[in-house]
Structure 1
Amino acid sequence: MHATPDLTRHTVQIDLGERSYPILIGAGLLGDSATYAGLPTAHSAMVVTNDTVAPLYADAVCAALQAHYRQVDRVVLPDGEAHKDWTTLNQIFDALLSKASDRKTVLFALGGGVVGDMTGFAAACYMRGVPFVQLPTTLLSQVDSSVGGKTAINHPLGKNMIGAFYQPQRVICDLDSLRTLPPRELSAGLAEVIKYGPIADMAFLDWIEANLPALRAREPAVLAHAVRRSCEIKAHVVGQDERESGLRAILNFGHTFGHAIEAGLGYGAWLHGEAVGCGMVMAAHLSQRLGLVDEAFVRRLTRLIEGAGLPIRGPALGADRYIELMGHDKKAEGGEIRFVVIDGPGRAAMRPAPDALVREVLAACCD
């Protein structure tokens, strides 16, 4: 079983050859100018944030960046998944063009997963590619969305359907930012932490169970270990399969059902982590019906997800609507929906499932 470490700063490396980069994990990183040393040289930097995070951290980040860039600008976006769209993306381009930003300008994504995804996509597109840095301020973005180079915006027909693989120069996880996280957002982040156990590391799942009260109480050393171990697992997977041609798909455990919930209810009604948590319960039930895990495993995972403060029953969209929405999932091929299932504790696999079994799961797991 994993021991909980001290609070010293740690670095996890993403090994992608010339696109390799470090994930820095520790306290007091955002406002420390040394955090930003060694990044690509440029005349200007652009901090992209939102109207929730900006009052908390933007001034400190911009002040720290002044040591490295002659000009530091910022653009403040509206907060929330509902704004992860073309209109908001264009606000980033408007800011870059109005400041005459050149192709060496470095973008800094200061916020949660929505800000990180949109800033990365903007960086991939602006002048056909400018450098960017992830400064994730939520638990979910620190353990998942900021790592690995997936960038995107949503479309009414599907989540993250328009985007690019584009790796950051660095990911900076300041654990102090988790202190200001609303409880609901903390629980949403725990969904992505929990995910890593059943797909890759059952000893980590044991540790999460043992430390769940401490995680919800935001004990610093416990959060530090959760972020570090999650990043280590994701770094290992991304290093082997950067563009999700095979292995990386296991990181989407619970996401096929979860994305359908988000799209079906309207983006922002449920947080992404809430939908993923519920989606993991559904995916565990499907794994059981496929004969891959036993009922005790499903009960254990369901109990843990509920204990993290996450929903374990899906909204009543109707089976036909769920299946229609899941047909738009990026993992669908040739009209066949494929699911990440647990292929035995600590292992995940991608498999199709008969409609009849999926409907059974939806009947069992939805209100």
Structure 2
Amino acid sequence: MELTVNLGPDTYPIYIENGILPQTGSYIRKFFTGKKIMIISDDHVFPLYGKTVLDSLKDYECHSLVLPHGEPTKSFQTLPQIYSAMLDARLTRSDLVIALGGGVIGDLAGFAASSFLRGVRLVQIPTSLLAQVDSSVGGKVAVDLPQGKNLVGAFFHPKAVIIDPDVLNTLPQHFISDGMGEVIKYGCIKDKALFDTLVRHTSFEDLKPELTRIIARCVDIKRIVVEHDQFDTGERMLLNFGHTLAHTIEQYYNYERESHGEAVGIGMYQITRLAEEKGLTTTGCADAIKKALDIYWLPDHCDLPMSSLTDAIALDKKNLNNHLNLVLLHTIGDSYVRPDSLAFFDGAGQI
């Protein structure tokens, strides 16, 4: 399957197909006529899939940089190591960077590519469910600061995204659940039929025969939203459903307890619960989200007092001109952006 993100000069294809990874080189040859490629990956992914990708790129001079896995790697302090590797490889603006990994590598390698020599071409090959359905598409690249997640970043679109659902077979259950947090999000904000499909199943294994189609649907939703709002000033904010709380939960625990998808699950449920109490969301939506989270082994609470998170929320990128743009649901499949303030969370107690 091929989808196209239509963004004028930044238009790019997304290829989604089981078993596509060994064909990486043939897809890259469609647009890349340079000589050098640098693969940036991590120490979990590269031993599994690095050779497969390298074998498909024998026509090129290839270099690789393997970084430690995990969110702490996605920091400003990692960038000098990446830039040094690019300089050692004598990478130029006519060359190519491949981000081979999950969301951390996609964001980090993408930001390095966007800033090295003011921009080196990029291909995203996401190897986690979360990255396949969400972070690899849309051109957002970033690194974290101690004060918050993704606070230094850029809009930098790849030249292509290559998605092979077969690579998910090597993922531990924890990372499958992590990705399902974002899949549930897409059903919540834009597609009740997708949400109903997710809750109709009893487990991820039960859902697996439909997985490639579900990945494609999530990617297509994001494609449409990004085409309408490339720079995150309007409709694209809907993709942040659950993230206002999620990012602060992740940061509170120094990215060492809840994974991103787990934190998004908590954020979606808790903000919907609060919105229902205020009459801003149809009653029953929070319970529906909780049911979906339970099916895919995702938490709905983190046992933190809301007061512990409000300082970080104040620094959130969605907090513009002292107004917090909250993403809420009218009902499942129908979302909206509500300008509000930190007062929304007053009296929230423990979440």
Query: TM-score, with normalisation over the residues of structure 1?
Result: 0.92
Whether the aligned pair in 2 keeps the contact of 1:293 and 1:345 (CA below 8 Å) is no
The residue aligned with 2:309 is 322
Q: Secondary structure at the match of 2:237?
A: helix
Task: Tell me which of 2, 11, 14 is aligned to 1:23.
Answer: 14
Displacement of 1:355: 4.5
Question: How many angstroms apart in 1 are the aligned matches of 2:257 and 2:265?
Answer: 15
Displacement of 1:362: 4.3
Question: How many angstroms apart in 1 are the aligned matches of 2:202 and 2:236?
Answer: 26
Aligned Cα root-mean-square deviation (Å): 1.5
Displacement of 1:295: 2.9
Displacement of 1:305: 1.1
String of CA shifts for 1:277-297, please: whole Å, max 9, x gaps: 111011211321331323322
Task: Tell me which of 44, 47, 51 is aligned to 1:55.
Answer: 47
Q: Residue type matched to 1:99 in 2?
A: A
- Kindly indicate whether residue 123 of structure 2 is the aligned counterpart of residue 133 of structure 1: yes
Q: Residue type matched to 2:7 in 1?
A: L
Task: Tell me which of 286, 291, 313 is aligned to 1:303.
Answer: 291
Question: How many angstroms apart in 2 are the aligned matches of 1:129 and 1:143?
Answer: 25
Q: Residue type matched to 1:16 in 2?
A: L
Identity %, equivalent residues: 37
- Kindly indicate whether residue 2 of structure 2 is the aligned counterpart of residue 11 of structure 1: yes
Could you list the runs of 5+ residues in structure 1 that have no partner in the other structure?
Answer: 1-9
Question: How many angstroms apart in 1 are the aligned matches of 2:103 and 2:86?
Answer: 21
The residue aligned with 2:281 is 293
Question: How many angstroms apart in 2 are the aligned matches of 1:12 and 1:362?
Answer: 44
- Give the direction of change, closer, same or farther, for the CA distance of 1:227–1:140 in structure 2 (3 Å limit): same
The residue aligned with 1:5 is none
Displacement of 1:351: 1.5
Displacement of 1:191: 0.5
Query: TM-score, with normalisation over the residues of structure 2?
Result: 0.96
Q: Secondary structure at the match of 2:166?
A: helix
Q: Residue type matched to 2:311 in 1?
A: E
Displacement of 1:330: 0.3
- Kindly indicate whether residue 97 of structure 2 is the aligned counterpart of residue 110 of structure 1: no
Displacement of 1:89: 2.1
Task: Tell me which of 215, 220, 224 is aligned to 1:232.
Answer: 220
Question: How many angstroms apart in 1 are the aligned matches of 2:44 and 2:195?
Answer: 32
- Kindly indicate whether residue 331 of structure 2 is the aligned counterpart of residue 340 of structure 1: no
- Kindly indicate whether residue 234 of structure 2 is the aligned counterpart of residue 246 of structure 1: yes
Whether the aligned pair in 1 keeps the contact of 2:114 and 2:154 (CA below 8 Å) is yes
- Kindly indicate whether residue 131 of structure 2 is the aligned counterpart of residue 152 of structure 1: no
Q: Secondary structure at the match of 2:331?
A: coil
Displacement of 1:87: 2.1
- Kindly indicate whether residue 182 of structure 2 is the aligned counterpart of residue 182 of structure 1: no
Q: Residue type matched to 1:277 in 2?
A: G
Question: How many angstroms apart in 1 are the aligned matches of 2:349 and 2:176?
Answer: 27
- Kindly indicate whether residue 157 of structure 2 is the aligned counterpart of residue 170 of structure 1: no
Whether the aligned pair in 1 keeps the contact of 2:41 and 2:105 (CA below 8 Å) is yes
Q: Residue type matched to 1:338 in 2?
A: N
Could you list the runs of 5+ residues in structure 2 that have no partner in the other structure?
Answer: none
